[in-house]
Chain A
Amino acid sequence: MKYDAIVVGAGLAGLVAAAELADANKRVLLLDQEPESSMGGQAWWSFGGLFLVDSPEQRRMGIKDSPELAWQDWQGAAGFDKHEDEDYWGMKWARAYVDFAAGEKREWLAKQGVKFFPVVGWAERGGYLAEEHGNSVPRFHIVWGTGPGIVKPFENRVRESMKRGTIIYQPRHQVTELLCSQGMIVGVSGNILVESQVNRGEASSRDIKDQFAYYAQAIIITSGGIGGNIDLIKENWPQRLGNPPKNMISGVPAHVDGKMLHVTEKAGGRIVNRDRMWHYTEGIKNWNPIWHKHGIRILPGPSSIWLDATGKRFPAPNFPGFDTLGTLEAIQATGYDYSWFILTEKIIEKEFALSGSEQNPDLTEKSIKKVLSRILPGPTAPVKAFMEKAKISS
């Protein structure tokens, strides 16, 4: 056989899996439907915030964290309620992940050159009791260089292996079927899409040039979620959050189409917890869109007054940055799919950050001078651009 393993999707998860396989001297075929310009997937666009527990950055800021506290918070946030069934493996992964975040994670990344911004952010503050949702302490560690900074080391490892010939990377290969034989998954087949010159994150053509089929002993699916597929979101929308919203803007590129989930299900894989999703309530339309309905999330500090569409202040603890899902539920209960922040110039200056690598050029470009200017009066340049060009009324 030509390949030992096939990895479907060259996002962060796929790059890491491929790099690890190549390090173990396996021959890997790495497939992705997008052109090479989009290598790294969503992670490249991300803000690069990483959950770490009891890190040196936290300690330097006077934060006392521990695996016990983090596990308490994780369970409070998760609210696992299908212990013997759909949550069975998720809970085991959660326990292992909290230990990873409190242990090996930081050093493993540090060895690969990943550094962090010294001020640890406090996301999902909760606002309930100790055993309920929320981070008891700040844990959001921003990678120096944001999303591209977390992709880079793994992309480098993959490119090194490409040079050595242990990883073959084939962009524009869209997997549409998993091939089974005698109860085993033995390969993948699909469409070779026409060449595309689009820039990173832009939708690429789905026109088909040819077909392919490849075989290997191990197939690893790393194709991402459904966040770019509004139809799938609506189809799986949980009843507890009311009717699916009429209007949503898109926080992810179009390649996050979720189609591989169905492909894998057809081959016998089980999908669980379909109705659990993590959408944001503080989206603004990008005045300079890269993908269809491109929205940006405001990462809000806690001071803005939050009103529903009819002008009524949301009850506690639906404050900015406290409980994303709880506030989404409160918004959905109003029957409208939007809400309002009212704030002052003093608040916007200090408290408005925008999620995503391209909205934080100072951190993404690793410019200490520009980062320091955040302490000065005035909003960051990207926030200012939104104030001028987007529909923020004052």
Chain B
Amino acid sequence: MNKLTGSELIKLEEVERQIKARDLEINNSFTKDLQITALRGARNYIGDKLIRVAKPHKILDPNNGPLIAVRLNLLSRKTLGGLQTDLSCRVLDQAGNPLKGLYAAGEVSGFGGGGVHGYRSLEGTFLGGCLFTGRQAGRAAAKELM
């Protein structure tokens, strides 16, 4: 890991200590380690049990295969704010009045209203936000054009 980053930030003993501590929490079917509790809880959902959540095991037990480390970077993706629009997708001006003739939908409108998600997303909400606002923009504009 240090080779990958060209630093000495990672101390083997430190990492080992924390994972050993975590592994000690596996012996009982109950535990104080909230991550392990979460794993067990998740496996009550059949979908997770089938294809998503490994059976809780000791990370340092060699039977569980070699250890893997993955360096994770920050990855840019979505914009949650954007053009403020009313429920007809009309773009609003600084005073909150619709700009005549102008509509917005999808990510540029924060997927609706300039921020349908607030600060966080529940995921899978972006494509649906494009569908919902895109449909509404098309329909609202068509109606206005009658």
The answer to whether B122 and A51 have CB atoms under 8 Å apart is yes
Check A19 for interface membership: any CB of B closer than 8 A.
Answer: yes
Q: Which residues of A contact B11 (CB under 8 A)?
A: 311
Q: Which residues of A contact B10 (CB under 8 A)?
A: 307, 310-311, 340
Contact with A along B81-119 (1 / 0, CB 8 A): 111111101011110100111111111111111111111
The answer to whether A278 and B77 have CB atoms under 8 Å apart is yes
- For residue B77, give the distance in angstroms from its CB to the closest CB of chain A: 4
Contact with A along B25-54 (1 / 0, CB 8 A): 000000000110011001001111011111
The answer to whether B127 and A43 have CB atoms under 8 Å apart is yes
The number of A-B residue pairs with CB atoms under 8 Å apart is: 504
Check A194 for interface membership: any CB of B closer than 8 A.
Answer: no
In Å, the complex CA distance between A124 and B121 comes to 8
Q: Which residues of B contact A280 (CB under 8 A)?
A: 74-75, 77
Contact with A along B1-25 (1 / 0, CB 8 A): 1011100011100110011001000
Query: For chain B residues 55-77, which have a beta carbon within 8 Å of chain A?
Result: 55-57, 59, 64-77
- For residue A388, give the distance in angstroms from its CB to the closest CB of chain B: 12
Check A29 for interface membership: any CB of B closer than 8 A.
Answer: no
In Å, the complex CA distance between A120 and B111 comes to 23
In Å, the complex CA distance between A221 and B89 comes to 10
Q: Which residues of A contact B68 (CB under 8 A)?
A: 341-345, 347-348, 387, 392-394
**Chain B facing A: main interface SS:** mixed
In Å, the complex CA distance between A5 and B140 comes to 12
- For residue B62, give the distance in angstroms from its CB to the closest CB of chain A: 10
Q: Which residues of A contact B82 (CB under 8 A)?
A: 225, 261, 271-273
Contact of A351 among B54, B79, B132, B133 (CB under 8 A): B54
Contact of A16 among B3, B72, B115, B138 (CB under 8 A): B138
The answer to whether A222 and B106 have CB atoms under 8 Å apart is yes
In Å, the complex CA distance between A269 and B84 comes to 8
The answer to whether A48 and B94 have CB atoms under 8 Å apart is no
Contact of A92 among B47, B87, B94, B139 (CB under 8 A): B87
In Å, the complex CA distance between A233 and B74 comes to 12
Q: Which residues of A contact B106 (CB under 8 A)?
A: 9, 11-14, 222-224
The answer to whether B113 and A92 have CB atoms under 8 Å apart is yes
Check A33 for interface membership: any CB of B closer than 8 A.
Answer: no
The answer to whether B134 and A12 have CB atoms under 8 Å apart is yes
Known: A251-B76, A270-B83. A301 touches B53 (CB 8 A): yes
In Å, the complex CA distance between A311 and B111 comes to 37
In Å, the complex CA distance between A312 and B39 comes to 20
- For residue A140, give the distance in angstroms from its CB to the closest CB of chain B: 5
Contact of B122 among A20, A74, A186, A311 (CB under 8 A): A74
Contact of B34 among A24, A94, A317 (CB under 8 A): A317
The answer to whether A96 and B87 have CB atoms under 8 Å apart is yes
Given contact pairs A11-B106, A94-B116, A319-B35, a sample of 5 additional A-B residue pairs in the complex whose CB atoms are under 8 Å apart: A16-B134, A90-B116, A221-B105, A230-B76, A282-B75
**Which B residues are closer than 8 A to A by beta carbons?**
1, 3-5, 9-11, 14-15, 18-19, 22, 34-35, 38-39, 42, 45-48, 50-57, 59, 64-87, 89, 91-94, 96, 99-135, 137-139, 141-145
19 CB-based A-B contacts, threshold 8 Å: A16-B130, A20-B142, A63-B45, A88-B113, A93-B87, A97-B125, A134-B122, A183-B100, A218-B144, A220-B104, A220-B138, A225-B82, A278-B79, A283-B73, A319-B34, A342-B68, A342-B69, A343-B67, A394-B69
